[in-house]
A and B are shown apart, each in its own frame.
Chain A
Amino acid sequence: MNIRNLRFSRALLGLYPASFRSEFGTEWMQVIEWRAEQYSRQSFGLLKFAAVIARDAIISLPIAHARTFFGSKKQSSQSANPAGTTGGGDQPPQRSSGGRRLESLLADIKFSVRGLVRTPVFTVAAVMSLALGIGGNTAIFSVVNAVLLKPLPYHEPENLAIIWNEFPQAGLSRLPMSGVEIAALRERDDVFEDVGGVWATSRTVLSEDRSSQASTGLVTINFFSVLGVGLNLGSGFSSEPQSGTGRQVIISHEFWSQHYGTDPRVLGQLLNIGGREHQVVGVLPAGLKFFFPTDAGIPERLELYTPLPTDLTVLPVAQHFLRVVARLNPGRTVAQAQEAAIRASEEVKQAYTELADTGDRFTVVPLKADSVRAIRPVLLVLLAAVSLVLLLAAVNVASLVLARSSTRRSEFAVRACIGASRKRLLQQLLTESALLGIIGSVTGISLGTLAVNTLWTARPPGLSRIDEIGLDPTVLTFSVLATLLATVLFGLAPLSQLRHASPAGALRSHGSMDRRAQNLRRAMIVSEIGLALVLLIGAGLLGKTLAGLQQAQVGFDPDNKLTLKIPLSSSRFPTAEQKTDLSRQISQTLSGLPGVLSVGASSHVPFIGWANWGDIAAPEGTDEANRSAFQFDHRSITPGYLETIGASLIDGRFFSEVDLEGTEPVVIIDETLARRAFGTDNPIGKRIQATRYAGAGEFEPTWAIVVGVVGDIRDRSPEVPSGGQIFWPFSQSARWELTYVVHTAGNPTAIVSAARDAVQQIPGELAPSDFVPIRDYLDATTAGARFTTLLATLFSTMALILAMLGLYGVINYTTTQRAREFGLRIALGARSVDILRDVLGDGLKTTAAGIALGIGIALVSMRFIASLLFGVSPTDISTFMAVSAVFLLVSLGASYIPARKAIRIDPREVLKAE
């Protein structure tokens, strides 16, 4: 900024009232120009100029505005009285009570501003405390409001529920449902208005010149009406059974605009999905999002929707794959829905004996509560944390104001002695507190806005509704009022001290704090340190959790692995043999690239977060009734896949090129499945009946021999153990899509373009996509933990700063009070190191008390965040010790500044003052 560039000054002038600007604006600018000229010749002129102008503005702006405000009131009351004179004559104008109030208010404002400017340490500390409290609180409250409190954007969202399947005997919960189960739920129409289901996958869309992948929902035909979402265009699925060319598809608004340029003639056009023509029968509204919990495997947005059969009972009874949403009749409760769901599950078990006696039951959960279940505990913990910060801020301001007011006891005593009324003193104190509160609030609002923007930028992907964060005015008002109240209440402390002590006593005390106030203040600081310690311990535990998650043993090596999706079009490669040949050709091509160590592919690669393939895999000898207890994750893999990702072989062998279609079906299972299905027996060579993909959209139960056991591979999240996995050779279960994993010697992204080119050279118009290192997918699963840790660190740092500001304030105050004592001791020959030890010891003692308190609170309270921790105990001793050490060190720093002041006391000055 150039000192002679007066744009800033003009902007400053704009802050004055219009009447002031019109009356004095030109002259005001003349003075500014002259001052600028004066300072431009000095070193650091710009800084000095800015400081002088800012100080002037801080003092004069409130007065100018108050004068305008009250002046206009005064004028209007005078104009109502035509006999009123305006002065200048013999008759002096009578001052109205409004005018007197204005005078005293102006004087108070001026006095307060000067007081704040004169004590910059107090002002900065108090304003910072208020700003941190208001800003942090507002930011987190805004997140909570966006994620937990705002209703879902559907019609009557409170009536929507998600229904899960529980298999308690198998220890499995939150599983999807089968078609017959949805049909049974629909029968309970006294409670359920309607019940729908969805399953997400990806399908190949073929156009004349290319094929591409589109995320696709397989939905019950009533799915959108259950949610209360109308179509933007078209009439939707017909309820007539579909066959042959009568297949239908509803497309998303985004797919419509991307592929059809929002042309309304899209209705009736044909779209080739997975080799079959589908007629477009509807377009959904723009921005439609789903809010399923992350473990449902339904992404927020899908591009295409194809319908399930109208009669859901034709679907395989044991194929649990549909995520179920129900709309309750108005007035029905979740408890009633739960009862109805249990009755429905009993009916299903009676009707389908193969599902009997497995202990299956349905659980009804409100959709909104379920959609935020992953982030809810995190936000509640953060809310608790930020409330503590708000409390700390209020305590800090209270403590600062209390200390300041104690030093002003004599001032108030003098004013009381010379006739100032209590009302007058009260007004003065209120003005001071309010002014401080206003400055703190404005700073806090700015900080809150900044924090919300930062949170929005750092928001983790995949957490439901997290992108709706915004600064909430209600929350802001609450925070501002809460802290203002604290400021004003404690600002009145000197008045109560005046009541308790005689003015004479106050005068004699030289403005020192009485013992009661001192004790109160020290107790405040001890509790502040305690609370801040609790927050920092929490942040430490979350940090350890994050580190644990990032280094968690996931059962394979995620580094230097590039993944790429390749759809295998069923129209071009209809048979399993053709698909297997193609998969082998792709593997060979990718293996030939420079820097590639090995290549393998799977229908489901860990952490990719795509819809799961869960189905029954029951060992030989299982009763029909117990089969559904053996629900496991199915994967279809090429030879070399398990070796490429670095899975560990526990027993038997990996797949090889000899495992082909037509040869004996073989499977590899993981340790969890082996333990659950075969107990302590060696599973190698045993038979297991599992579902494999038989082509043309059909899955068939097949007996297979277990040829290998691998260590568990975690594939949902690093902290979620495997639920049991079974691996088919791709040649024997050739699904429509493979994700290749390429193990590279160096940076995996370096081979992206070479891999794309190489795959596109293969005949078959392949469309490889999603070139992402597996490490990135893994990191995305810890994004939530990173976000939590970031916030916790932020808040605990704020708390630490607040507590240390408080400690500094106390030690500084005590040191000032003991200046005479220190002066005398120095005069009598005390060494600097003794004084230093004395002051630092005082700080350390206070901190130690705070640490003891904090550890006590943390031991009790940390178990509330146990559900957020992974690999670390809520009472982890090393975290407790490290955080305590940090507090001791920082408190040494906070006490050192006043300690230095103490050893520099000049005994002569002290004695002269006496």
Chain B
Amino acid sequence: MSYSNRSTTKPLTGTVFYVLLALAETPKYGLGIVQEVERQTGGEVKLGPGTLYNIIKKMLETGLIEEVSAEHRPMDDDPRRRYYGITEDGRFAFESEASRLASLVSAAKSVGALKARP
């Protein structure tokens, strides 16, 4: 599957969205992604390694992320680590999904679904 055909972008699964979110600013290696997702979700989402690398493999295949070259790495990094960065397709899918979620949220707000609870 490819996201090249941008007009037909489908909703992303939660895990794919979290990975893209983690990679939105800088490329990261596997463990870095896990830690970033936990940080951003306040520990709510804990990615298991099997799930993570299945997703990474799938996202590499579909062109949402790519393995990045050496210049993106920190100087003192473990050379065995593989870094993944978001592709243009990935960024487009991520932004589309974010705006889709935002419009959902505003729609929910318009019917009073997100009122503060007493």
A30 touches B54 (CB 8 A): no
By DSSP majority rule, is chain A's interface helix, strand, loop, or mixed?
helix
Among B48, B50, B53, B57, find the residue whose CB has the most chain A CB atoms closer than 10 A: B50
Nearest residue (CB) in B for A20 is B53
Cβ distance B49 to chain A, nearest Cβ, rounded Å: 4
Does B40 touch A at the CB level, under 8 Å? no
Does A59 touch B at the CB level, under 8 Å? yes
| Interfacial residues of chain A within 50-72, with CB under 8 A of chain B in the complex | 52-53, 55-57, 59-61, 63-64, 67
Does A335 touch B at the CB level, under 8 Å? no
Contact with A along B1-19 (1 / 0, CB 8 A): 1101100000000000000
Bound-state Cα–Cα, A628 to B57, Å: 89
CB-CB under 8 A from A8, the residues of chain B are: none
B1 touches A103 (CB 8 A): yes
A31 touches B31 (CB 8 A): yes
A95 touches B1 (CB 8 A): yes
* Interface window among A86-94, A212-220, A507-515: A86-94
A67 touches B30 (CB 8 A): no
Cβ distance B99 to chain A, nearest Cβ, rounded Å: 22
Cβ distance B37 to chain A, nearest Cβ, rounded Å: 12
CB-CB under 8 A from B92, the residues of chain A are: none
By DSSP majority rule, is chain B's interface helix, strand, loop, or mixed?
helix
Cβ distance A6 to chain B, nearest Cβ, rounded Å: 12
Does B56 touch A at the CB level, under 8 Å? yes
Contact with A along B92-115 (1 / 0, CB 8 A): 000000000000000000000000
Bound-state Cα–Cα, A55 to B47, Å: 11
Number of B residues contacting the other chain (C-beta, 8 Å)? Answer: 25
- Across the interface, A27 reaches (CB within 8 A) one of B48, B58, B81, namely B81
Does B80 touch A at the CB level, under 8 Å? yes
Does A23 touch B at the CB level, under 8 Å? yes
B63 touches A53 (CB 8 A): no
Does A28 touch B at the CB level, under 8 Å? yes
CB-CB under 8 A from A56, the residues of chain B are: 48-51
Contact with A along B70-82 (1 / 0, CB 8 A): 0000000000111
Cβ distance A135 to chain B, nearest Cβ, rounded Å: 29
- Across the interface, A24 reaches (CB within 8 A) one of B30, B34, B63, namely B30
Bound-state Cα–Cα, A61 to B48, Å: 12
Bound-state Cα–Cα, A35 to B46, Å: 10
- Across the interface, A16 reaches (CB within 8 A) one of B31, B46, B50, namely B50
| Interfacial residues of chain A within 72-118, with CB under 8 A of chain B in the complex | 87-88, 90, 92-93, 95, 99, 103
CB-CB under 8 A from A95, the residues of chain B are: 1
CB-CB under 8 A from A87, the residues of chain B are: 2, 4, 61, 63
Does B24 touch A at the CB level, under 8 Å? no
| Interfacial residues of chain B within 17-56, with CB under 8 A of chain A in the complex | 29-31, 34-35, 46, 48-54, 56
Cβ distance A85 to chain B, nearest Cβ, rounded Å: 10
Cβ distance B17 to chain A, nearest Cβ, rounded Å: 16
CB-CB under 8 A from A242, the residues of chain B are: none
| Interfacial residues of chain A within 572-600, with CB under 8 A of chain B in the complex | none
A30 touches B31 (CB 8 A): yes
CB-CB under 8 A from A32, the residues of chain B are: 49
| Interfacial residues of chain A within 464-480, with CB under 8 A of chain B in the complex | none
B50 touches A27 (CB 8 A): no
A34 touches B34 (CB 8 A): yes
Bound-state Cα–Cα, A55 to B46, Å: 11
A30 touches B2 (CB 8 A): no
CB-CB under 8 A from B31, the residues of chain A are: 27, 30-31, 34
Among B57, B80, B82, find the residue whose CB has the most chain A CB atoms closer than 10 A: B57
CB-CB under 8 A from B29, the residues of chain A are: 27
Known: A31-B34, A87-B2, A92-B5. A61 touches B57 (CB 8 A): no
- Across the interface, B51 reaches (CB within 8 A) one of A16, A59, A99, namely A59
Known: A27-B31, A27-B82. A60 touches B2 (CB 8 A): no
Bound-state Cα–Cα, A88 to B64, Å: 10
Cβ distance B50 to chain A, nearest Cβ, rounded Å: 3
Bound-state Cα–Cα, A495 to B96, Å: 35
Cβ distance A352 to chain B, nearest Cβ, rounded Å: 85
A64 touches B54 (CB 8 A): yes
Known: A27-B29, A32-B49. A67 touches B63 (CB 8 A): no
CB-CB under 8 A from B5, the residues of chain A are: 92
A59 touches B34 (CB 8 A): no
Known: A27-B81, A34-B31, A93-B2. A57 touches B63 (CB 8 A): no
Cβ distance B85 to chain A, nearest Cβ, rounded Å: 14
CB-CB under 8 A from B80, the residues of chain A are: 26
CB-CB under 8 A from A63, the residues of chain B are: 54
A28 touches B2 (CB 8 A): no
Cβ distance A74 to chain B, nearest Cβ, rounded Å: 10
Among A31, A32, A57, A93, find the residue whose CB has the most chain B CB atoms closer than 10 A: A31
CB-CB under 8 A from B81, the residues of chain A are: 27
Nearest residue (CB) in A for B35 is A34
Binding site for A on B (CB under 8 A): 1-2, 4-5, 29-31, 34-35, 46, 48-54, 56-58, 61, 63, 80-82
Sorted from nearest, which 5 A-B pairs have the closest CB atoms?
A56-B48, A60-B50, A31-B49, A24-B53, A27-B30
Beyond the given pairs A16-B50, A28-B53, A57-B48, 8 more chain A to chain B contacts, judged by CB atoms under 8 angstroms and listed by A's residue number, are A23-B53, A27-B29, A27-B30, A27-B49, A63-B54, A88-B63, A93-B2, A103-B1
Binding site for B on A (CB under 8 A): 16, 20, 23-24, 26-28, 30-32, 34-35, 52-53, 55-57, 59-61, 63-64, 67, 87-88, 90, 92-93, 95, 99, 103
Complex A-B: 18 CB contacts under 8 Å = A20-B53, A24-B49, A27-B29, A27-B82, A28-B49, A28-B50, A30-B30, A31-B30, A31-B31, A34-B31, A60-B51, A63-B54, A64-B50, A67-B57, A87-B4, A87-B63, A93-B2, A95-B1
